[in-house]
Amino acid sequence: MSSRKSWVDFRLKERKVGDLPSGGDPLWALVYPQGYEVGMANLGVHSVYRALRERGVAAERFFKSPFPDISVENDRPISDFRLLTASVVYEPDMTSLLSMLKKWRIPATWIEREEKDSPILGVGGGISYINPLGLSKYADFIALGDGEEIFDHLVDAVRDFFRHHGNRRRLWETLAENASFFVPPIHLEQLVKGRPLSRKKSICLDLSAAAGKSTWITPRSVFPDSFLVETQRGCYRKCPFCTIPACFGPPRTRPKDLVLKDIDAAKEYGALRLGIIAPESGDYPWISDVIATVRQQDISVSFASLRLDSLTPEMLEVLSQSGQRTLTVAPETGDDELRKKCGKPFTQELIIEKLKLAREKGITKTKMYFMLGLPNETVEHILETARFISLVRRETGLKTVASFSIFVPKPQTPWQDNEFSSLETIETKTRLLRKNLLKTGTSGVELRFPSYREADEEYNLAWCLADSDLVFTRKKKARHDTILVKRQLELLGFQRNIPDRGEGV
């Protein structure tokens, strides 16, 4: 095999964290439908690989690029694998996975694969918490929720499948015995006919049972040379647009002693940077201990998410000491009242105060995330956002990037019933923002506007019905009926786990 098509250079740069069994059985392809650099920044990829290897499974990784046809571990061709499981984190990953199957000449649907005795395809990941219905035409099984509670059942079922010469029906039936598996070949007909399935998301409440750390450290990651450490799952906040508090289980924290132990070991593994993984890093009860330990270890740190009202001087100091010069924040809108309805009850004054403090600590640039098309958003809200961006630049002196996305209502969230904006509406608001920011004459502001096509695709994928066709062209989109999707999710057994529809805390 030519060196041009080999993962050898990538393997040489990977540093494993701890010892894991080699070899094993069965041969199992772990598919991530994005590039290697993105996948290696996803702690879920690390955790699933570790869990399977610890159970003696010969797991090997496949990424969409640069070499999708061969495994990272051994350059083994995908044709050697009878079992594929894919991590589908975001809606566009669904169609990305289908494109990989097409490239591999593996039939996309479970019906076609059964007819042609093609590989089994299982799916898990973030989409399984929100709306897994769109995958029901394609996946042999979908693991719902956290993996820790269901790995043993899955591995036992797969080994039984191989012992019985690839008996698909036996595998489907065995997996369906566990309520945290949605098995379309068994369940789809019942669901379409309106019969309840009583499936449930597996939620790991005791995070001491979770791996919670990197399996590899590599410079070829969007978090280069970083050791990732998980501190929390779920979110205490109740932002009504967000799927995390609505879909991913109650807030639960990883024990302080385990987190600090992992941080202590980071440099031993050759990490140059520590990555704290949590929906909101500042909400971790022992974040001050984390910061103190980071300083003792003299290692750089980054936080996956920072909320302005939980941002402390100590956090800003450790970020600056780590060489970070850009602070990313998400005001969502320039209007205080609309921001409060988004679950973020902090004012323009507080935002500017925090950004000024950041500049004092050595930060030179801010990247602010805003949304267009929020529920009840008016022209005045758009004008206020333009004024606010200009105000931030003038008052703080920070170079300012204002990055806009389009609000996409997601199933199971409090704002699921709100409208998705039309192209005309978004274009009008975009022109208004540009025009009014130009009027201010403010320099040092960069505006980044979203792709409506991508947001529209995300919306359609988010609201797929069971047995939907995910093939997108300009003339054909996945059919979606939000009322029926909500009904099918109820039949599946999904329940919202947020306590109420409040505006946030």
Tokens, residue 298: 């003299």
Residue 340 shares a structural domain with residue 295: no
pLDDT digit string, tens, across residues 465-482:
998 888 643 334 544 688
Q: How far apart are CA 81 and CA 27, in angstroms?
A: 6
- In whole angstroms, give the CA distance from residue 382 to residue 57: 53
Same domain, 330 and 423: yes
Same domain, 143 and 240: no
Interatomic CA distance for residues 372 and 426, integer angstroms: 7
Among 256, 287, 320, the domain boundary falls at 320
| pLDDT surpassing 70 at residue 503 | no
Q: What is the pLDDT of residue 495?
A: 67
Region 89-96: mean pLDDT is 96
**Structural domains counted in the chain:** 3
Q: Which residues have C-beta within 8 Å of that of residue 483, sequence separation ≥ 6? A: none
Q: What is the mean pLDDT of residues 48-74?
A: 97
In whole angstroms, how far apart are CA 107 and each of 78, 79, 104, 166, 221? 13, 13, 9, 17, 31
Q: Give the contacts of 241 (CB within 8 A, at least 6 positions apart).
A: 342, 343, 371, 374, 407, 409, 410, 413, 415
What is the spatial distance between Cα 323 and Cα 301, in angstroms, rounded to a whole number?
9
338 and 417 in a common domain: yes
Label residue 2 by pLDDT band (50, 70, 90).
very low
Alpha helices in 441-481 (DSSP H): 452-462
What 3-state class would DSSP assign to 399?
strand
Q: What is the per-residue pLDDT for 438? A: 84
Q: Residue 24 is part of a domain; what is its CATH number?
A: 3.40.50
* Residues 113 and 243 placed together within one structural domain of the fold: no
> Does residue 270 sit in the same domain as residue 341?
no
How many CA within 13 A on the CB side of residue 347?
3
At 471 the pLDDT is 67
Looking at the chain, the whole-number percentage of residues with pLDDT higher than 90 is 87
Work out the average pLDDT over 256-280.
94
346 and 402 in a single domain? The answer is yes
DSSP H or E run through 136:
none
- 316 & 351 share domain: no
Residue 272 covered by a domain: yes
Residue 505 has pLDDT above 60, yes or no: no
Mean pLDDT for the stretch of residues 494-501: 51
Beta carbons within 10 angstroms of residue 490's beta carbon: 11
For the chain, the average pLDDT equals 93
Q: Which residues pair with 182 in a beta bridge?
A: 142
Q: How far is CA 229 from the centre of its chain?
A: 16
DSSP state string for 11-57: HHH-EESS----S-SSEEEEEEEEEHHHHTT-HHHHHHHHHHHHTT-
Answer yes or no: is pLDDT of 1 > 90: no
User: Contact, 452 vs 404, CB < 8 A?
Assistant: no
**CATH classification of the domain holding 357:** 3.30.750.200
Q: Is residue 370 part of a domain?
A: yes
Residues 147 and 221 in one domain: no
In the predicted model, what is the mean pLDDT of residues 429-435? 95
Q: What is the Cα Rg of the chain in Å?
A: 23
Residue 498 has pLDDT above 50, yes or no: no
pLDDT band at 319 (very low <50, low <70, confident <90, very high): very high
Cis peptide before 224 (omega within 30 of 0): no
Domain-embedded: residue 180: yes
**What is the sign, positive or negative, of the torsion defined by CA atoms of 150, 120, 477, 483?**
negative
Residue 272: per-residue pLDDT: 92
425 with 419: CB under 8 angstroms?
no
Is 497 part of a structural domain of the chain? no
Rounded to the nearest 10 degrees, what angle do helices 168-176 and 151-163 cross at? 160
Range of the domain at 427: 325-462
The per-residue pLDDT for range 159-186, each reduced to its tens digit, is 999 999 889 999 999 999 999 999 999 9
pLDDT category at 502 given cuts 50, 70, 90 is very low
Whether 355 and 313 have beta carbons less than 8 Å apart is answered as no
Alpha carbon distance 172, 341 (integer Å): 44
Name, in order, each residue with C-beta under 8 angstroms of 139's C-beta and a sequence gap of 6 or more. 110, 121, 122, 123, 184
Domain-located, residue 480: no
Closest C-alpha to 369, from 336, 328, 429: 328
Alpha-carbon span 401 to 447, nearest angstrom: 6
201 domain residue, yes or no:
no
Short-list 442, 363, 347, 375, CA closest to 402 = 442
User: What's the pLDDT at 440?
Assistant: 76
Q: What is the reported pLDDT for 443?
A: 82
Q: Is residue 197 part of a domain?
A: no
Q: How many other C-beta atoms can be found within 10 angstroms of the C-beta atom of residue 39?
A: 25
Give the per-residue pLDDT at 114.
Answer: 97
188 and 261 both lie in a single domain: no
CATH number of the structural domain spanning residue 277: 3.30.750.210
Whether 230 and 351 map to the same domain: the answer is no
Task: Decide if pLDDT at 442 tops 70.
Answer: yes
* 489 within some domain: no
The answer to whether the CB of 275 falls within 8 A of the CB of 223 is yes
| Distance (Å, whole) CA 359 – CA 63 | 39
331 with 259, same domain?
A: no
Model confidence pLDDT, tens digit, residues 353-394: 999 999 999 999 999 999 999 999 999 999 999 999 999 999
**272/226 Cα distance (integer angstroms):** 6
pLDDT tens-digit readout, 273-305: 999 999 999 999 999 999 999 998 889 999 988
| Weakest-pLDDT range from 93-102, 129-138, 306-315 | 306-315
In this prediction, residues 85-105 reach a mean pLDDT of: 97
- Model pTM score: 0.93
